[in-house]
């Protein structure tokens, strides 16, 4: 029977345990971890040296988790049977004992359709409710609607920004029903539900606060 060893480790998992307990009789080693500092070169010379010469490593997780230089050295020395990966690099893509092909996990018909639906849904949520999901340079912000009157504010992540925004609203006689502010690095995003509509001049005053990048009124159609 073929011995198969799959690594499914969380980011907080004690990787040192793996280094000490990786089986020495495994014939197929599969990798299922994200690429984070703790998992870079997780499969290196020490781990490969413990494996039998007929072993095969399969990496469909992320490039960088397996040390390709160590893999090629082991293959050339007949200390490893094969390497299979969908992250072709110069070291492995033309090697006779490597099977490499493009990383097409998101390029199937089903995946592309799902991605298109996801993009449309997230764009609609942003336009209708100010919700941000899966942005690269903004925090994910989602707040249940509790009012017909909502304002969305993008601003620099600096002290007293929320205080200045809420003060400006209070000076205009606006009562904050609910508020959510989140940040990511130097950027922050704020959703505010109000008990009444916000006037154009108040939007302009908020936009003049140093550090405010954009202000958008996000009304909800009343039944």
- Name the residue ranges covered by the structural domains of the chain: 4-100, 109-217
Its pTM stands at 0.58
Pairing assessment for the beta strands 176-184 and 187-194 based on DSSP bridges: antiparallel
Name the fold adopted by 109-217. Alpha-Beta Plaits (3.30.70)
Give me the pLDDT at residue 20, please.
53
Give me the pLDDT at residue 1, please.
39
Q: Which long-range contacts (CB under 8 A, 24 or more apart) does 68-74 make?
A: 68/92, 70/43, 70/44, 70/45, 71/43, 71/98, 72/98, 73/45, 74/45, 74/48, 74/49
Give me the pLDDT at residue 10, please.
41
Q: Which residues pair with 215 in a beta bridge?
A: 153
Give me the pLDDT at residue 221, please.
65
The H or E element that residue 193 is part of is strand 187-194
Give me the pLDDT at residue 185, please.
93
CB 14 within 8 A of CB 38: no
Average pLDDT per block of 10 residues along the chain, 223 residues long: 45 47 74 86 89 91 91 95 92 92 78 90 95 93 94 96 95 96 95 95 96 94 61
Give me the pLDDT at residue 66, please.
92
Give me the pLDDT at residue 27, please.
87
CATH architecture of 4-100: 3-Layer(aba) Sandwich (3.40)
E strand spans, 138-175: 149-156
């Amino acid at each position: 029977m073929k011995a198969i060893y799959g690594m499914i480790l969380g980011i907080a998992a004690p990787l040192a345990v793996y280094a000490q307990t990786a089986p020495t009789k495994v014939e197929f080693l599969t990798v299922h971890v994200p690429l984070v500092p703790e998992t870079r070169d997780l499969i290196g010379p020490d781990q490969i040296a413990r494996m039998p010469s007929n072993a095969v490593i399969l990496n469909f997780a992320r490039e960088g988790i397996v040390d390709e230089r160590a893999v090629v050295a082991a293959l050339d020395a007949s200390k490893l049977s094969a390497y299979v990966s969908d992250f072709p690099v110069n070291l492995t893509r033309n090697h006779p004992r490597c099977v490499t092909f493009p990383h097409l996990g998101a390029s199937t018909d089903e995946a592309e359709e799902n991605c298109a639906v996801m993009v449309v849904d997230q764009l609609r949520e942003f336009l209708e409710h100010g919700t941000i999901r899966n942005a690269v340079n903004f925090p994910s912000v989602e707040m249940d609607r509790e009012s017909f009157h909502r304002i969305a504010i993008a601003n620099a992540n600096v002290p007293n920004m929320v205080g200045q925004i809420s003060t400006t609203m209070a000076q205009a006689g606006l009562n904050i029903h609910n508020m959510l502010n989140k940040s990511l690095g130097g950027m922050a995003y704020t959703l505010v539900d109000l008990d009444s509509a916000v006037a154009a001049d108040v939007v302009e005053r908020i936009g003049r606060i140093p550090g405010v990048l954009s202000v958008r009124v996000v009304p909800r159609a009343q039944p």
